[in-house]
Structure 1
């Protein structure tokens, strides 16, 4: 049995990760750009989609103030790693909608795996968006990194909810050798959160918005990295 598939190990590690994340968030010196876009969505209440690339998932709780924003759930994959992350996020007030969205560029087998639980997650996500927010990593759960699948724009089109693109960064940080070059925070450094907002264009197809939304999500992440000085992992 792989260690992360052991429920006891999952529980212990997820608790440790949640405590570590909150410690880091409290000690980072945060810079925010265009937060008024998010404040308007929080003040309005109701459904909202918040999107960031999979590699910044460990920073996500820092961008959603549960004391004044609407409740939020995270769309997390059905993998063992997804279970580990789902537990850690739930301990910080962000419960999970389990599932993932298929990426048409991934091939038949990968697409079938990515779609496992996807229909149920889509239904659950739409129910969530009637009253609250849903966090989505549009290149998850296995990439390629920075390649947006159809799930985010499809949810935006079906729900009519506004989309908040969120660039998250911190420095110094641990960069993992995973497919998404995941960033894990370290304490007493700099953090940045950069916002952009979009609404699904009336009459557009899902495929029409993916290039623009990909560019906008890349832009806010690049700006956040510029604010903190975080450099990409060599190679």
Structure 2
């Protein structure tokens, strides 16, 4: 059962056209924890990665995109390197003919993991800021070039989220 907080965020009101949100998660213990949290927020987890179940997950994501869903993918893949776009997300967006929208987020107070991705976990009552970048429509060009452009855009949104979240706070 979703918490009252989760129900608050999921309830958007009748004037907002809500689309299904598909979120790619790994088939690991960490993925299972994320899956549990996503369901509380009304999001649909799709299990798979480049190393396990990726083809099936990509098919499911493509089917959802073509049906009008929104797909959420962490762009740096299951092993990194951090903030470097894998070409899988670009290929999927190209095939589905949908834009890629870089998003960044930050929270204070939070704890940062010492893992390769340096993931942060917001602490209770944290101030959270999310920044949405400009959509990029893959034009069928070289995926590696677009990956570099998207990584730069992602870094910009991440940096802006940190600045906005920490504005007015003592260091």
- TM bin, normalised by shorter chain, reads 0.7 to 0.9
Cα shift readout 1:136-191 (whole Å, capped 9, x = no counterpart):
00113232211211111111110011222111111111112222111111233422
Structure 1 residues 65 and 142: CA distance shift in structure 2, 3 A: farther
After the TM superposition, which parts of structure 1 deviate over 6 Å for at least 4 consecutive aligned residues?
none
Tell me which moved more, 197-206 or 75-84. 197-206
Give the superposition deviation at 1:213.
Answer: 0.3
Distance 1:142 1:180 in 2: 8
Cα shift readout 1:85-134 (whole Å, capped 9, x = no counterpart):
11221122112111123xxxxxxxxxxxx2x2111111111001012101
**Correspondence for 1:208 among 145, 154, 165:** 145
Tell me the equivalent position of 2:22. Answer: 73
Alignment coverage as a number of residue pairs: 162
Distance 1:158 1:93 in 2: 26
**How is 1:86-105 mapped onto 2 (pairs within 5 angstroms)?**
86-101=35-50
Distance 1:166 1:91 in 2: 21
Distance 2:133 2:148 in 1: 15
Structure 1 residues 189 and 122: CA distance shift in structure 2, 3 A: closer
Maintained 8 Å contact 2:73/2:89: yes
Structure 1 residues 170 and 203: CA distance shift in structure 2, 3 A: same
Distance 1:142 1:66 in 2: 35
TM-score (structure 1 length as normaliser) = 0.62
5+ long unaligned stretches in structure 2: none
Maintained 8 Å contact 1:162/1:197: no
Distance 2:37 2:136 in 1: 30
Over aligned residues, Cα RMSD in angstroms?
Answer: 2.5
5+ long unaligned stretches in structure 1: 1-14, 27-61, 102-113, 231-235
Tell me the equivalent position of 2:88. Answer: 151
**Pair 1:179-2:116 in alignment:** yes
Cα shift readout 1:11-38 (whole Å, capped 9, x = no counterpart):
xxxx8xx759x47xx8xxxxxxxxxxxx
Tell me the equivalent position of 1:227. Answer: 164
Question: Whose helix proportion is higher, 1 or 2?
Answer: 1
